[in-house]
Amino acid sequence: MAVLNILNYPDPRLHKVAAVVHVVSDKHKKLIRDMADTMYQAPGIGLAATQVDFHERIIVIDISEKKNNLHVLVNPEIIEMRGEQICEEGCLSVPGIYEKVKRSEWIKFRALDIEGNPYEMEAEGLLAVCVQHEMDHLLGKVFVEYLSPLKRNRIKSKLVKQKKQKLIL
Ligand code: NI
């Protein structure tokens, strides 16, 4: 088990755009297992490779209560979306901040699994929110960027202050 360091907003590395995975190699498989460990330990329900400073299109998600239903999304692509939902979101890279974000209610996506096999899946509600949130990370986008500049700056200064306090201690 390896728990990776999670980047915190406003770290500029969170804005890097992730590259497509050409082959799911042993290195990627190890990263995926480490990302799952990191997500479970945090604890969180989703994690994108960008958040652990690895810039290829990989996501892990587990919204189950027992934490026994891991979804691995390599090179995810949304192929259909429907409806609208507003959900209060948090993010492991933006600790302590929860804000309402508007997303599609239902999506259909395709991705590769940990073995590199392609699959398609439909998701709604929380799982749909989670996939859309994590896919934004791969594009270098953090959920607070949906908020007004005023609100976003307030969050930014709060997190920078928290970080400074941590460094002093
Ligand atoms: Ni996040």
The answer to whether position 113 is within a domain reads yes
Alpha helix ranges (H) inside the chain: 26-41, 125-138, 149-168
Segment 52-66, tens digit of pLDDT: 999 999 999 999 999
134 in catalytic set: yes
pTM listed for this prediction: 0.95
> 3-state DSSP call for residue 73?
strand
Task: State the pLDDT at residue 114.
Answer: 98
The answer to whether position 20 is within a domain reads yes
Contact 142, 7 (CB under 8 A): no
The answer to whether position 131 is within a domain reads yes
The answer to whether position 61 is within a domain reads yes
Catalytic-labelled residue, pool 56, 77, 105, 134: 134
The answer to whether position 2 is within a domain reads no
Neighbours of 158 (CB within 10 A): 13
The answer to whether position 124 is within a domain reads yes
CA distance 142 to 135: 10
Q: Which of 165, 8, 163 is nearest to 94 (CA)?
A: 8
Give 51 Cα–ligand 1 centroid separation in angstroms. Answer: 8
Give 11 Cα–ligand 1 centroid separation in angstroms. Answer: 13
The answer to whether position 41 is within a domain reads yes
The answer to whether position 156 is within a domain reads yes
Q: Which of 6, 19, 16 is nearest to 137 (CA)?
A: 16
Task: State the pLDDT at residue 6.
Answer: 97
Give 136 Cα–ligand 1 centroid separation in angstroms. Answer: 8
The domain that holds 134 is classified in CATH as 3.90.45.10
94 pLDDT tier (thresholds 50, 70, 90): very high
Token output for 72: 């691995």
Give 27 Cα–ligand 1 centroid separation in angstroms. Answer: 23
Residue 169 scores a pLDDT above 70: no
Contact 47, 39 (CB under 8 A): yes
Give the total number of structural domains in the chain.
1
Contacts of 128 (CB under 8 A, 6+ apart): 85, 103, 104, 105, 106, 107
Domain that holds residue 74: 12-168
Segment 110-163, tens digit of pLDDT: 999 999 999 999 999 999 999 999 999 999 999 999 999 999 999 999 998 888
DSSP string, 90-123: --TTSTT--EEEEE-SEEEEEEE-TTS-EEEEEE
